[in-house]
Structure 1
């Protein structure tokens, strides 16, 4: 049920995991270890109950490590959030899989992954009802001066309700800061498992790392259609400023924009240029329609890639790019690679049958694709030849030797994707301290871990809108 896939050769090695990891959370730790929390119940045979399991995959490892510590509650469809102090939050989900009893808790896993420090019962998650499957969960890059030292501000959003809260450094309770404003289109949701895509727009020192959330597409209920497969998907995008001044000052408001069309089960991938790529999905249906073994019911393959430019004027932000003939619906994924390409894979169902009383048939997509953004073949992309250090502290400097021309740099997180949710996806522009021909020195994000948590990042140099032909990995230490 897991494998190590080599994108360059297209080969893979199976890595067995008996604690059912289906519909688990996933994130990277500071040393590059992958943590997978929660999962599915005992489904019989080879797989054992993984609802409270923690699993660790060490860098360079060849097998899963299972700590003795377990989650204090079962979590099916939880979101994981890696905090700037090295702890990991396991947020929401259901307690008992298909029975659908929500878990209104946030558990805090220690920085070494060997203990669960605290369990919080969070009122916000109880208000989500049955909608807290893979809630959108973000660490915001600020903390007000009146918060306890070492606190982290977190946004949690699912269905039509969201909240901004802070997580203290110790065992004290998570505290409320503000509710998100009312969702503009309650008949269509984006923040729900395998429905819409989302991104925290790139953070930049030029504007004080002001944070802004964007949501894309999603699903309706029946939408008045006799068959859920025919319910039109959400055709809107939504932006919300969540910088400190806007949140504390009570100025949050959703900005709604028309997309090129309706889209559900859509993956959002932030590119090194700061634009957001949208791939996968369908024009109608739902991820929660009860397909074979669970899954979604949809039809109307949307194979075109869309590119969203957050710097463009409203109404001019979307462009339609190349299309893929491969249907990618439920359980499809997409993530950024160090080449700047996007790996697209997965999906397990075909279009709905005409008779909606039948579950849609299976169509397991075992092939992967590389999406080549417009910059892929463009001349003028710089090439990094060396870094002065493979690891550096927050607020420190790194010098990159390069070939060609370059005038900027950006850090990009590695992907951790499932159900159209890329956990911890983050893009941080870097201050350029010096740039002589062939050598650029950049200043890493500030100490404290709020702008950029510790860990391994892809460092791209930029020549205008052209990223380097390959990123170099750099470890940010706290």
Structure 2
């Protein structure tokens, strides 16, 4: 029997189908765009986090009296499963308080350094063997290794110790897939001094004794968690306190650049920092953006004044160190922010969330502290930066709602494969503390933030590779029904393939976070599908160091769900490099004259798909 549906009935059918969340191309765990959603419990506070697989986020806390136990002691690590939004405890073995981390070229994650053994209340103990109440041996020499897994059976292991103590070190992945471990402190301090600073860098796997850095020596006292970026030149941008240098780690030679303007960006000022996308349009030239922090002089870091109410900086500056030694000002933040996390999104825009409007990172029992927090006035509203917008209009809050959870000291955030942002942590207390009379409690709630593209059709690429190399043959990605996915077949002209590493997030940094756009061409087919022809990565491993990464296809400013891939050989060592194969010329059929015609075809195909789905269920034929 056949039925003829009226326009009103057809509208009802389409609404009913869309309400079943059956929209092609949408992530399964979608959420309201521009909003935060609490998704689970991290078991331990998210002081440090990283993405291990498409389904697993690894969370690291300091040794403290968390209610979740593992063995005979509190847990201070967990594995969070994104698919089920559940966490399992993990044993980190030694105290990971304010450690650093990054990933090796073979896919093994490394967590480096930490603090001495502590007891109840976070006080140091006389034990050095894990015999205290938390069974947390001194972690300041530790190198902890993890090979991520999806079966719930992977575990942290200890490698041979570092030769020197490192609290608050930074870790950078190099072009051969090894790690550079930079700076830190020998002892438990708020800021460094000449007796506690560790102004050296060393390598993992080890390459000999640590190398002294004159730049780190001259950047006291605010040189903990120094800001580092591997540049396409193969050298390291190093920034701490007010000083900046380019370091040739092969020779030990340091070249000074201009001093940082406006504010301190390193811990405890803790600005948000990110390398902007390296693209064919900018010839894969590195530009680093610094936003927020605190304008505090070197002699003001003594805690005998009300640091918690010191206004955070609104300043944003950027530096292209392989082009110029000088910083340039860009649009300031809408409000001053310290401890903000900057997250690079696949569409090239930059999200900042977490942090506070006054104060700095750190905690203590000072009379002026807010509870034990050295910061106050949490910033709950995210802001979005578009580096390609005209100057004066690059920041916006439009379409985004605030979180209800203050994310203060010891908060973290990373991009996930579905394009959402995983947000965790906040604990400006010496130990686990959820008392009703304190302003900022130990926080276990995990949130996702959903950018605006979560209310849009998402591309569904087919044939994404599992590996990318440096140069060599191109690869093709299919984009079926492009008009249906993104609303206009003409958007193929905007299509991009981007490779991203989401980094190791802690203390306002995402160590190793990076985004590189591949060279592409396209072939548009008359049936609305398309093929995207993609080059491999540029034949220079310093542009994007080897190791795991996410590959996204972005069409019309909307990213696909990312696929985890391996960049490079999967081994530590010199990476194979080849000349890039040429791409074909892009092709667009003359039959697609107007974008609105493509939209009409997309709407008709969507309506036909919806009615067919309803008919299959109800046994009705629509005519």
TM-score of Structure 1 vs Structure 2, range by shorter chain: 0.7 to 0.9
Instruction: Show the counterpart of 1:303.
Output: 380
Deviation at 1:133, TM superposition (A): 0.9
The Cα of 1:206 is off from its aligned counterpart by 2.1
| Cα distance in 2, alignment partners of residues 283 and 330 from structure 1 | 12
Q: 1:220/1:158 Cα in 2 relative to 1: closer, same or farther (>3 Å)?
A: same
Find the partner of 1:316 among 378, 386, 393.
Answer: 393
* Secondary structure of 1:386's aligned partner: coil
Question: Is 2:295–2:313's contact at 8 Å kept on the other side of the alignment?
Answer: yes
Indicate yes or no: 2:330 matched with 1:252: no
* Offset, 1:10: 1.6
TM-score (norm: length of structure 2): 0.67
1:16 alignment partner in structure 2: 91
Bigger radius of gyration = 2
Alignment of 1:185-204 (within 5 A): 185=262, 188-193=263-268, 195-204=270-279
CA displacement 1:328-378 (0-9 Å, x = unmatched): 11011111000010011110149xxxxxxxx96541111011111111111
Which residue of structure 2 lines up, in the alignment, with residue 409 of structure 1? Answer: 497
Q: What residue in structure 2 maps to residue 147 of structure 1?
A: none
Select the residue among 96, 107, 129 that pairs with 2:202. Answer: 107
Work out whether 1:71 is the aligned partner of 2:162.
yes
Q: Which residue does the alignment assign to 2:281? A: 206
For the Cα contact (< 8 Å) 1:194–1:266, is it kept in 2? no
**Residue 49 (structure 1) aligns with:** 138
Cα deviation for residue 252 of structure 1 reads 2.3
CA distance in 1, matches of 2:341, 2:460: 28
Structure 1 counterpart of 2:356, from 282, 292, 303:
282
Q: Is the 8 A contact 1:434 1:440 kept in 2?
A: yes
Q: Please state whether the residue corresponding to 1:371 is helix, strand or coil.
A: strand
Preserved contact between residue 468 and residue 537 of structure 2 (Cα < 8 Å): no
> Which residue is 1:466 aligned to?
558
8 A contact 2:106–2:177 mirrored in 1? no
Deviations 1:53-75 (A, max 9, x none): 111101325111212x2212110
Residue of structure 2 equivalent to 1:441: 533
- Greater share of helix residues, 1 or 2? 2
Distance 1:390 1:180, change over 3 A: same
User: Secondary structure of the residue that 1:59 maps to in structure 2?
Assistant: coil
Superposition RMSD on alpha carbons, in Å?
2.4
Contact preservation (8 Å) 1:219, 1:287 = no
Higher alpha-carbon deviation: 406-415 or 266-275: 406-415
CA contact (8 A) 1:194 1:330 kept: no
In structure 2, do the counterparts of structure 1 residues 256 and 440 end up closer, same or farther at CA, with 3 Å as the change threshold? Answer: closer
The residue aligned with 2:248 is 166
In the alignment, what sits opposite 1:356?
none
The unaligned stretches of length 5 or more in structure 1 are 143-151, 351-358
What is the alpha-carbon distance in structure 1 between the residues aligned to residue 379 and residue 336 of structure 2? 9
Q: Per-residue deviation at 1:435?
A: 4.0
Greater RCO, CA 8 A, separation 6+: 2
Gaps in structure 2 of 5+ consecutive residues: 1-75, 119-131, 430-436, 483-491, 569-574, 576-623
User: 304-313 or 254-263: which moved more?
Assistant: 254-263
Task: Provide, for residues 401-445 of structure 1, a one-character-per-residue CA deviation record: whole Å limited to 9, x for no partner.
Answer: 333435211011033100111001100011114445343231122
Task: State how far apart, in whole Å, the 2-side matches of 1:260 and 1:404 are.
Answer: 40
Can you list the C-alpha shifts for 1:381-403, whole angstroms capped at 9, x where unaligned?
2013332x312321133333333
Q: 1:4 to 1:194 in 2, by over 3 A?
A: farther
Deviation at 1:162, TM superposition (A): 1.3
Looking at structure 1, the residues matched to 169 and 176 of structure 2 have their Cα atoms a distance apart, in angstroms, of: 20
Q: Superposition pairs for residues 348-359 of structure 1, below 5 Å? A: 348-349=427-428
| Superposed displacement of residue 464, structure 1 | 2.1
Deviation at 1:196, TM superposition (A): 0.9
How far, CA to CA, are the matches of 2:379 and 2:440 in structure 1? 18
Q: Is the 8 A contact 2:105 2:178 kept in 1?
A: no
Deviation at 1:295, TM superposition (A): 6.8
> Hey, what's the Cα distance between the residues in 1 that align with 2:110 and 2:215?
25
